[in-house]
Amino acid sequence: MSTKTMKRILVTGATGQIGSELTIELRKRYGGDNVVAAGHKRKPSEKLFSSGPFEYVNVTQKDEIEKVVKKYDIDTIYHLAAVLSAVGEQNHQLAWNVNMGGLYNALEIAREHELVRVFWPSSIAVFGPETPRVNTPQDTVLIPTTMYGVTKVAGELLCNYYFLRFGLDVRSVRYPGIISSETPPGGGTTDYAVEIFYEAIKNKRYTCFVREDTVLPMMYMPDCIKADIDLMEAGPSRIKCRTSYNVTGMSFSAGELAAEIKKYIPEFECEYKPDFRQKIADSWPLSIDDSVAREEWGWKPTYDLAAMTKDMIEKLSKRFAKGKP
């Protein structure tokens, strides 16, 4: 395992919901020019494009990643490029090719170029109906019922293999649903928890695609970014888990989220019309035990439902008032 420090970072999936905010935070910490943002089809925001290098990369093409690694002398990869659960059920081949092909390429490049470290996000989608759903433990049954979940279980095993076989310092967390105000999510089952804020502020009403009583583990973006960076900056000896760490911020039902929003927008009305994503949500846990991450590298979330809702409504209201989308 390399003992060098992380200096020049590549973020794949940098135009996505998490990648776009993670890149900005990494640029604050490591310097704009030392963090290369890589996207595939989505155009980068002005903020992303103007704060450091940007490259278009298709992660299923190893040579496209390798070209950027060589051009910028990259020593660390945050590999976020992925197809999420809902899109993955509509196009399972795409989900397999991007999620598995992309990860394999990133790990092979990290091995061949002896990179310092790799971050790769797994998800609570690794869990399935056979998994204990309350306070889901770190080590448990992983029989997902989505292609996205299959790629996340396989991805965790691949990362563990690259650590054991080649000593590659690859690290991972299992994201719950992530809520944020900067970049809308693209094709996940938990997208309702973001869309509801946009619709409540703009139109005072929202049609939610899961039942009112659907409870899922969630996390606010500032905590998501903190988890990624804290994990990557932890001393190697503290990291005992090389598949992926359970992490979470909070759990709430769609109805509880709507009620919290109504405290700020009393006229807000939410109706519930479950679609195919209900079956996916019903296969996932209600709450997560993240005690191992807390013990091994000091994980501790900051935001609960009330604090997140307040911050989301403030940030989105301010942005919409300026006429921005």
For the annotated catalytic residues, the residue numbers are 148
Distance CA 192, CA 253 (A): 11
Q: What is the DSSP pairing of strand 215-220 with strand 177-179?
A: parallel
Distance CA 97, CA 152 (A): 13
Inter-CA distances, 183 with 6, 15, 45, 238, 315, Å? 26, 8, 9, 33, 12
The stretch near ligand VAH (CB under 6 A) out of 23-31, 172-180, 295-303, 312-320 is 172-180
96 versus 264: smaller Cβ distance to ligand VAH: 96
54 versus 220: smaller Cβ distance to ligand VAH: 220
Note whether 208 binds ligand VAH by CB under 6 A.
Answer: no
**Residue 293: other Cβ atoms inside 10 A:** 24
Closest distance to ligand VAH from the beta carbon of 85 (Å):
3
Query: DSSP alpha helices (H): ranges in the chain?
Result: 17-30, 46-50, 62-71, 85-90, 92-96, 102-112, 147-166, 192-203, 221-233, 254-262, 277-282, 291-297, 305-321
The stretch near ligand VAH (CB under 6 A) out of 31-39, 101-109, 169-177, 312-320 is 169-177
Cβ 148 vs Cβ 85: under 8 Å: yes
* CA 184 distance to own-chain centroid: 12
Distance CA 297, CA 286 (A): 24
**Rule CB under 6 A: which of 39-68 touch ligand VAH?**
none
Q: How many residues bind ligand VAH (CB under 6 A)?
A: 14
- Give the x-and-dash track for 77-116 against ligand VAH (CB under 6 A): -------xx-------------------------------
**Residue 324: other Cβ atoms inside 10 A:** 8
Geometric angle at alpha carbon 90, from 207 and 81, rounded to 5°: 95
Note whether 19 binds ligand VAH by CB under 6 A.
Answer: no
The stretch near ligand VAH (CB under 6 A) out of 5-13, 127-135, 188-196, 287-295 is 188-196
The residue of the chain with the least Cβ separation from ligand VAH equals 188
175 versus 272: smaller Cβ distance to ligand VAH: 175
Distance CA 160, CA 139 (A): 14
Among 76, 190, 251, 309, binds ligand VAH (CB under 6 A): 190
Query: HSE (CB half, 13 Å, CA atoms) of 53?
Result: 19
Among 13, 144, 188, 249, binds ligand VAH (CB under 6 A): 188
Note whether 124 binds ligand VAH by CB under 6 A.
Answer: yes
Among 189, 243, 283, 309, binds ligand VAH (CB under 6 A): 189
Tokens of 322: 């300026």
**Residue 306: other Cβ atoms inside 10 A:** 11
Among 175, 192, 220, 303, binds ligand VAH (CB under 6 A): 175
118 versus 125: smaller Cβ distance to ligand VAH: 125
The stretch near ligand VAH (CB under 6 A) out of 33-41, 67-75, 161-169, 182-190 is 182-190
* Contact footprint for ligand VAH (CB under 6 A): 84-85, 123-125, 148, 175-178, 185, 188-190
